[in-house]
Chain A
Amino acid sequence: MRFPFRLALRHLLARKTRNGLTVVAISVAVFLLCFLIAIVQGLEASVRSASATRLVTQSAVSLFVSLPISYQHKIDSVDGVYLSTKFRWFGAYYQDQENFFAQFAVDPNRFLDMYTKDIEIIEGPGGITGPEAKAAVQKAFDSDRRAAIIGIGLRDDERYGFRIGDTVPLIPLLYPRADGGAWDFVIVGYYRPLKDRIPDTTMYFRADYLNEAFESGEAYGDIAAGVYYVNTLENAPVEQVAQEIDEMFANGPQRTQTITEAAFASFFISAMGNLPLFLGTIGGAVLFSIFFSVVNTMMISGRQRIQEAGILQALGFRPITSTMLLIFEGLLISLIGGGCGIVLAVTTERPIMQMLGQSISNYHITPDLVLLAVAISSILGIVAGLAAGLPFLRYRPTEALRSFE
Chain B
Amino acid sequence: MTDAFIVLEKVCKSYSRGGETLHVLDEFNLSIPESDFVALMGPSGSGKTTILNLVGGLDSCDSGLVRVAGAPVSEMSRRDLPAWRSRHVGFVFQSFNLLPVLTAHENVMLPLQLTPLSGSERRKQADFALDIVGLSGRASHRPAQLSGGEEQRVAIARAIATDPDVIIADEPTGDLDRKSADGVLEILSRLNSELGKTILMVTHDPLAAKKALRLLELDKGVLIEDRQIDEQQREGA
- A10: contacting residue among B82, B102, B113, B114, CB under 8 A: B102
In the complex, the answer to whether B99 meets A7 with C-beta atoms within 8 Å is: yes
Tell whether A318 is near chain B: CB-to-CB under 8 Å.
yes
Tell whether B97 is near chain A: CB-to-CB under 8 Å.
yes
- A316: contacting residue among B93, B100, B109, B111, CB under 8 A: B111
In the complex, the answer to whether A397 meets B97 with C-beta atoms within 8 Å is: no
In the complex, the answer to whether B56 meets A314 with C-beta atoms within 8 Å is: yes
Beyond A11-B101, A14-B101, A307-B97, is A315–B58 a contact (Cβ under 8 Å)? no
In the complex, the answer to whether A315 meets B53 with C-beta atoms within 8 Å is: no
Beyond A2-B113, A2-B114, A7-B110, is A316–B87 a contact (Cβ under 8 Å)? yes
Query: Could you tell me the distance in whole angstroms from the C-beta of B101 to the nearest C-beta in chain A?
Result: 4
**CB neighbors of B among A300-332 (8 A):** 307-308, 310-318
In the complex, the answer to whether B85 meets A314 with C-beta atoms within 8 Å is: yes
Band of interface residues on B: 20 to 34
Most buried by A among B58, B85, B86, B93: B58
Tell whether A117 is near chain B: CB-to-CB under 8 Å.
no
Contacts of B82 in A (CB 8 A): 313, 316-318
- A398: contacting residue among B53, B84, B109, CB under 8 A: B53
Tell whether B59 is near chain A: CB-to-CB under 8 Å.
yes
Tell whether B5 is near chain A: CB-to-CB under 8 Å.
no
In the complex, the answer to whether B101 meets A314 with C-beta atoms within 8 Å is: no
Rounded to whole angstroms, the CA-CA distance of A11 and B53 in the bound complex is 28
Tell whether B83 is near chain A: CB-to-CB under 8 Å.
yes
Tell whether B91 is near chain A: CB-to-CB under 8 Å.
yes
**CB neighbors of A among B40-83 (8 A):** 53, 56, 58-59, 79, 82-83
In the complex, the answer to whether B93 meets A401 with C-beta atoms within 8 Å is: yes
Closest-by-CB residue of B relative to A9 is B101
**CB neighbors of A among B109-129 (8 A):** 109-111, 113-114
In the complex, the answer to whether A10 meets B97 with C-beta atoms within 8 Å is: no
Query: Could you tell me the distance in whole angstroms from the C-beta of A151 to the nearest C-beta in chain B?
Result: 56
Tell whether B106 is near chain A: CB-to-CB under 8 Å.
yes
Tell whether A73 is near chain B: CB-to-CB under 8 Å.
no
Query: Could you tell me the distance in whole angstroms from the C-beta of A163 to the nearest C-beta in chain B?
Result: 61
Contacts of B79 in A (CB 8 A): 318
Contacts of B162 in A (CB 8 A): 316
The majority secondary structure among interface residues of chain A is helix
Rounded to whole angstroms, the CA-CA distance of A312 and B102 in the bound complex is 13
Query: Could you tell me the distance in whole angstroms from the C-beta of B97 to the nearest C-beta in chain A?
Result: 5
**CB neighbors of B among A1-55 (8 A):** 2, 4, 6-7, 10-11, 13-14
Query: Could you tell me the distance in whole angstroms from the C-beta of B16 to the nearest C-beta in chain A?
Result: 13
In the complex, the answer to whether B102 meets A6 with C-beta atoms within 8 Å is: yes
Closest-by-CB residue of A relative to B100 is A14
Rounded to whole angstroms, the CA-CA distance of A14 and B99 in the bound complex is 12
Rounded to whole angstroms, the CA-CA distance of A291 and B202 in the bound complex is 46
Closest-by-CB residue of A relative to B86 is A316
Count A-B contacts at CB 8 Å: 64
Contacts of B93 in A (CB 8 A): 401
Tell whether A159 is near chain B: CB-to-CB under 8 Å.
no
Tell whether A396 is near chain B: CB-to-CB under 8 Å.
yes
Contacts of A6 in B (CB 8 A): 102, 106, 109
Beyond A317-B82, A318-B82, is A397–B87 a contact (Cβ under 8 Å)? no
Rounded to whole angstroms, the CA-CA distance of A396 and B59 in the bound complex is 8
Closest-by-CB residue of B relative to A2 is B113
Query: Could you tell me the distance in whole angstroms from the C-beta of B168 to the nearest C-beta in chain A?
Result: 9
Rounded to whole angstroms, the CA-CA distance of A401 and B114 in the bound complex is 20
Query: Could you tell me the distance in whole angstroms from the C-beta of A207 to the nearest C-beta in chain B?
Result: 72
Rounded to whole angstroms, the CA-CA distance of A14 and B53 in the bound complex is 31
Rounded to whole angstroms, the CA-CA distance of A318 and B114 in the bound complex is 10
Query: Could you tell me the distance in whole angstroms from the C-beta of A398 to the nearest C-beta in chain B?
Result: 5
Rounded to whole angstroms, the CA-CA distance of A315 and B83 in the bound complex is 9
Contacts of B58 in A (CB 8 A): 313-314, 396-398, 401
In the complex, the answer to whether B106 meets A315 with C-beta atoms within 8 Å is: no
Rounded to whole angstroms, the CA-CA distance of A241 and B56 in the bound complex is 87
Contacts of B113 in A (CB 8 A): 2, 4
Rounded to whole angstroms, the CA-CA distance of A314 and B114 in the bound complex is 12
Query: Could you tell me the distance in whole angstroms from the C-beta of A12 to the nearest C-beta in chain B?
Result: 9
Rounded to whole angstroms, the CA-CA distance of A401 and B84 in the bound complex is 19
Contacts of A398 in B (CB 8 A): 53, 58-59
Beyond A398-B53, A401-B93, is A316–B101 a contact (Cβ under 8 Å)? no
Closest-by-CB residue of A relative to B83 is A316
Contacts of B99 in A (CB 8 A): 7, 308, 311
Query: Could you tell me the distance in whole angstroms from the C-beta of B92 to the nearest C-beta in chain A?
Result: 10
Contacts of A10 in B (CB 8 A): 101-102, 106
Closest-by-CB residue of A relative to B49 is A398
Query: Could you tell me the distance in whole angstroms from the C-beta of A319 to the nearest C-beta in chain B?
Result: 8
Contacts of A308 in B (CB 8 A): 99
Contacts of A396 in B (CB 8 A): 58-59
Residues on A lying within 8 angstroms of B by beta carbon are: 2, 4, 6-7, 10-11, 13-14, 307-308, 310-318, 396-398, 401
Q: Provide 5 A-B residue pairs closer than 8 Å at the C-beta atoms, listed in order of the A residue.
A: A2-B114, A7-B101, A7-B106, A315-B110, A396-B58
Known A307-B97, A316-B82; 10 more pairs at CB < 8 Å: A6-B102, A11-B101, A314-B91, A315-B85, A315-B86, A315-B158, A316-B83, A316-B85, A316-B111, A316-B162
